[in-house]
């Protein structure tokens, strides 16, 4: 549904830009108000895309992914805080700064990997997809005469990326890799 909305917004923007180009070509002069309206419409489209993405993110968010995302935000904030500390106060024990910063970046990478492996499909999404498939089969017989029938070979949004790895194994891998990372960082600090 979000794709249809974004496609409709893009089509409206294209028509608007073509009509503004035709009107500016007919007058022969560039109107500063039309430039401002084009910029305003572009900004509105960006905000619309951000709002759509934000709403879709919270529709598909599970408590487990929410916890992982909060930890990712914490790691980014901690890395930024360490960098600001080095800029303002100095980097006297430089290996301590490098160890802490590398620890934040490494833990961030490991946590993103965990998030990708743990991302699960929603039961409600599966039901919706099954209903859409049933409706599509019924509608295909009725919609033979229409011009635009879009069939996609793309995977569904709710499909898991890592189908063979269980969440328990991915969490075990995350813990093991985190222990190795922090062991190396502690030895780097001395």
Quick one: pLDDT at residue 36?
Answer: 84
In a domain, 141, yes or no: no
Cβ contacts of 97 within 8 Å, gap of 6 or more: 82, 85, 86, 91
Condensed to tens digits (0 to 9), the pLDDT of residues 128-187 reads 455 555 555 554 444 444 444 445 454 454 466 677 888 889 999 999 999 999 999 999
| In a shared domain, residues 106 and 165 | yes
3 vs 171, higher pLDDT: 171
In a domain, 73, yes or no: yes
Contact 79, 108 (CB under 8 A): yes
- Is this structure's pTM higher than 0.85? no
Q: How far apart are CA 29 and CA 27, in angstroms?
A: 6
Condensed to tens digits (0 to 9), the pLDDT of residues 16-71 reads 656 555 554 444 456 777 788 888 889 999 999 999 999 998 898 888 999 999 99
| In a shared domain, residues 86 and 111 | yes
In a domain, 3, yes or no: yes
Condensed to tens digits (0 to 9), the pLDDT of residues 58-95 reads 898 888 999 999 999 999 999 999 999 999 998 788 88
Written as six digits, the tokens of 163 are 């189908």
Give the 3-state secondary structure of residue 154.
Answer: coil
Domain of 88 in residue numbering reads as: 61-120+161-190
Contact 173, 162 (CB under 8 A): no
Looking at the predicted structure, is the pLDDT value of residue 122 above 50? no
């Amino acid at each position: 549904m979000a794709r249809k909305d974004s496609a409709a917004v893009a089509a409206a923007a294209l028509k608007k830009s073509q009509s503004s180009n035709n009107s500016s070509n007919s007058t022969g002069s560039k109107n500063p108000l039309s430039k401002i309206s084009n910029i305003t419409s572009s900004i509105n489209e960006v905000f619309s895309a951000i709002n759509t993405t934000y709403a879709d993110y919270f529709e598909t968010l599970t408590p487990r992914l929410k916890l992982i995302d909060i930890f990712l935000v914490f790691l980014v904030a901690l890395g930024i805080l360490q960098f600001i500390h080095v800029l303002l106060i100095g980097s006297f024990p430089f290996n301590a700064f490098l160890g802490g910063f590398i620890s934040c970046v490494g833990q961030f990478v490991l946590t993103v990997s965990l998030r990708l492996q743990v991302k699960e499909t929603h039961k409600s999404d599966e039901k919706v997809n099954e209903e859409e498939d049933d409706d599509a089969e019924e509608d295909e017989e009725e919609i033979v005469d229409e011009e635009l029938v879009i069939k996609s070979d793309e995977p569904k949004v709710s499909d898991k990326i890592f189908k063979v790895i269980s969440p328990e194994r991915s969490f075990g891998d995350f813990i093991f890799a985190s222990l190795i990372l922090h062991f190396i960082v502690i030895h780097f600090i001395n």
